[in-house]
Structures are given as C-alpha cells and as structure tokens.
Amino acid sequence: MNKNGSKYNIILINPPVYDFTYYNLWEKPLGLLNIAAFFKNDKRCNIHFIDCVCEKFAKKSEYERGAGKVNGAVTGKPGVFKGVKRNFHRFGIPAEELIKRLAEIAGRLDPDSPTAIFITCMMTYWYAGAFEAGEIAKKLFPKAVIAIGGIYARLMPSHAANSNIFNYVETSGDPSFIFKKTLKLLNIRETEYSFAAKDFIPAYEIMSELNNSVALCTAEGCPHKCTYCASNILYPEYRRKSPEGIINELTYYRDSLKVKNAAFYDDALLYKKEEHFYIWCEKWIKSGAGLNFHLPNAVHAAMIDDKCATMLKEAGFKTLRLGYEFFDEMLQKKSGGKINGTAMEKAIKNLLSAGFSQNEIGVYILFGHPEGSFLEAKKAANFIIECGATPNLTLFSPIPGTPDAEAIFQKWPQLLEEPMLQNKASFFELYSQITYEQYYELKSSIQKELSRQHHAAPAA
C-alpha cells in the first residue's frame, strides 16, 4: 500500500506509425501533452516522455513552414494489404531504440514508486504501433499500470481491450478526469489545481523537437453533424476555451517557445464567429500577431464573409482549408448540408479580395467515398479551380460510429474487425469503384491546370 503523498511516475509514449505514407501537417500528440499539463503541476510526479516519431524535418522549407514529409523504413506488408501494390512503412525510431529509452527510464526510477504508462494512438488503423509500444512497456514495467488512449481507443475500445496488452482502455478525452483517475489507480492522494481545465496550455516543453510549430484547439466538438465525421462522438459537448486563454496560449508559443507556426485543429473554428473567433482574433492582431496560422482541418466556408476574410488575413493565416467534399448538391445535403456551390464561390471570392492567393486557399474534395465517383470528384475539382482556389483531394476513411461508416461495415464487416482496412490510403482502392490510377490521373490533371493558369497569368 502506498502512503499518501508518495512519489509516482508517469511515462507518456507517442508510438511509431505503420502506414503507406506519412505527411505531418503540424500534427502533435495533443492528448499526451494535455495530460502532461496536469501532472507537471503535481510536485510528487516524475514525468517522462518518449516521442517515437520525433524526426526533425531535413528540408529547410519544410522546417520553416512547420510541416513536411516524415521518412519511413520499408517493412513487411500486413496480409490484409496483399492486393495493394505499394510499399508499407514503419515511421519512427526502431523498436530497439524504444526498448533502450524505456530501460534507461526504468533504471532511474525507484522500483517501489508506482508508475502509470500512457500510450496514445490517433488513427484507428495505426494501432499496430501502439500495440508494439505496449508490449515493450509491459515487459520492462511489469508492475506498471499501462493504458492506451487517443482517438483509436475512444472509437474502438473493445478492439483495444481484446489485445490483452493494456490494463485499461482510456475512453475519456478530459485530462482532468484522467489525472484524478490515475491518482486513484496508483493509490495517491488527490490534489486540486486552481487553473480552469478549459484554459490550460499543452505541455510542449516535454517535447525534444517541435519542428518550428505547435498545434492547438480553441474548442472541442462541433455543432454540425456531418455523416463522415466523428467529432460528435469524440466530443458530445461543444466547449470553447476563453478568448483570454487562447491569447495567453498563443503568446506563450510566440514569446516563450519561439515557434513560427501554429495550426488550429478545431472542427468548427468559425462557428458563431462574432461571439468567439472575432473576439480573440482582434486581440491577437492588436498584440502584434507574429505567428503563421494554418488550418489543416476544414473550416465552414459559408461563414467566410468580407469581414471574416479580412480578419483571417490580418491575423496571419497562411494555410486555409475549406470543406466542400462533394460537387453534387444531393450528396452535399445528405452528408451534412453545411455547404453548396454558391456559398463556396462567395467564400473564395472574399478570400481572394482579402489578399489570399490561390495556393493559400485549399478546398477539400472527398475522394473514394462509396457514394462519390471519379467523375463527381473531377467536376468538384474543376469547379474549385474555376472559383480561383486549389482542390485538395482528401481520401475517405470509414470512421467507426459515423453513419457513413456504419453502412459500410454492414456491407463489409471485415473493416470493423480489422481496423487496418480503414486506412484512407487503401480503402478506395480495395472497396470502391475508383482505381489508384484514376486518383493519380486526377491529381496530375489538377496540377497541370494550376500550372497552366500560373504561367498564363500576366506578370504583376
């Protein structure tokens, strides 16, 4: 039995990734960093963090932008992908290096002090890397409480539990809840903090390499209910950080961490913009701004009027992504009804008028959705180019719990039984009428048309 007030240990692991490709769009292990933000304030806690995918971008241009391609080692392809004629990779430090780092941590710890190990997993089809890390941790820390969390664990808890690797599967996304739960599991006296849970700053200081960027969310959840998105499942309640908390967070990134890029992973950044986005954005502009903002998650294009477009420009947004998904109006309405061609055209016009370039305005087109088609995606791409923006083909992945995925799983139950098959890089090739050749054909035609327009444009 541990005495109240005992020292204890928390080990956080961002595991390796097994996939066909891996392009890091300012991605950071926010879940682990949020957990660390709570534990770091408890003086009894020793925090250790291992980022298995911490590669520094080699290209200067990628480092300056804060996003780039991650290098991987070709590895054996799982049998479920035998019909996919592309190499499979392991991204991250070798297993031997993970063993070495965990062994070093074990050697520094008091063997009698309680230990909890948290392993995250983002994509459902990335679970192999998390299982690998869990198996290694279990051997080196047989007495530790080992948990798996992240989007995969929250969407597919039974699959994670059936691995028999972990002591428990964490399905909460609330770091305050996880903190209190862990103290109980380790038999450590609970302590209270004075800061508001909604406004804390992720503990980026535990990361050895930031690649000149951070990721953040000004809110969790989404008021919209798109049929292909799991935001409402992961965050049943839509909750925002305070404008003051957001400014404090951004100021810390700019002045203390001294990064140049910040990516917003909100699912509804512009929702009721007058009540939230405009408030903190105006304060940020008055503070001198000073960060390059990026939007890897699509924002609601219908919200972008003249004022909003100008605000985005003045605040320092450099990478814009708008959600369009389908060209067909029936598919637009069926999948969520939050956008149509007219609204998209107006949004792009407003952004261009505010000074954004075509390269900065990307529009997501959902490619490989069972109800879509190659021709439908091509029409969408042509329309977006005509409007003056850049089409971005985003590969569809069936996400457990969403209406679109549930219909797919009824037809192909093996996709629910084996999450690897949910991989966006292979799903459309294995389970739709669209071929990989058509995917590259469309990508190539988009690039050629954009290049043609660029060379045809008169010199400034």
Domain ranges of the chain: 8-185, 212-456
pLDDT value for 5: 53
Judge whether 436 and 395 are in contact, CB under 8 Å.
Answer: no
Q: Please name which of 141, 113, 352, 338 lies closest in space to residue 228, comparing C-alpha atoms.
A: 338
The rounded percent of the chain whose pLDDT value lies above 70 is: 96
Q: Note the pLDDT of residue 192.
A: 62
CB 226 within 8 A of CB 338: yes
At how many degrees (to 10) do helices 424-431 and 436-456 cross? 120
Q: Which CATH architecture has domain 8-185?
A: 3-Layer(aba) Sandwich (3.40)
User: What pLDDT, in 10s, does the model give residues 382-429?
Assistant: 999 999 999 999 999 999 999 999 999 999 999 999 999 999 999 998
> Out of 3.20.20.70, 1.10.340.30, 3.65.10.10, 3.40.50.10310, which CATH number does the structure's domain 212-456 have?
3.20.20.70
- The C-alpha angle with vertex 455 and arms to 453 and 458, in degrees rounded to 5, equals 90
Q: What is the pLDDT of residues 46-92, one digit of tens each?
A: 999 999 999 999 999 999 999 999 999 999 999 999 889 899 999 99
Q: Give the residue-averaged pLDDT of 300-320.
A: 97
Other beta carbons less than 10 A from residue 361's beta carbon: 23
pTM of the model: 0.93
The vertex-171 CA angle with 165 and 172, nearest 5°, equals 135
Average pLDDT along the chain? 93
Residue-level pLDDT at 327: 84
Sheet arrangement for strand 213-216: 213-216, 261-264, 292-294, 317-325, 361-367, 390-395
Q: What average pLDDT does the segment 266-284 reach?
A: 96
| pLDDT tens digits, 217-261 | 999 999 988 999 999 999 999 999 999 999 999 999 999 999 999
Distance CA 68, CA 59 (A): 8
When pLDDT is averaged across residues 173-181 and rounded to a whole number, the result is 92
Q: Which of 159-173, 233-247, 321-335 bottoms out in mean pLDDT, i.e. has the lowest? A: 321-335
- Tokens 């089809």 — which residue? 125
Residue 246: Cβ within 10 Å count? 24
Burial class of 330 by CB neighbour count within 10 A (0 to 12, 13 to 18, 19+): exposed
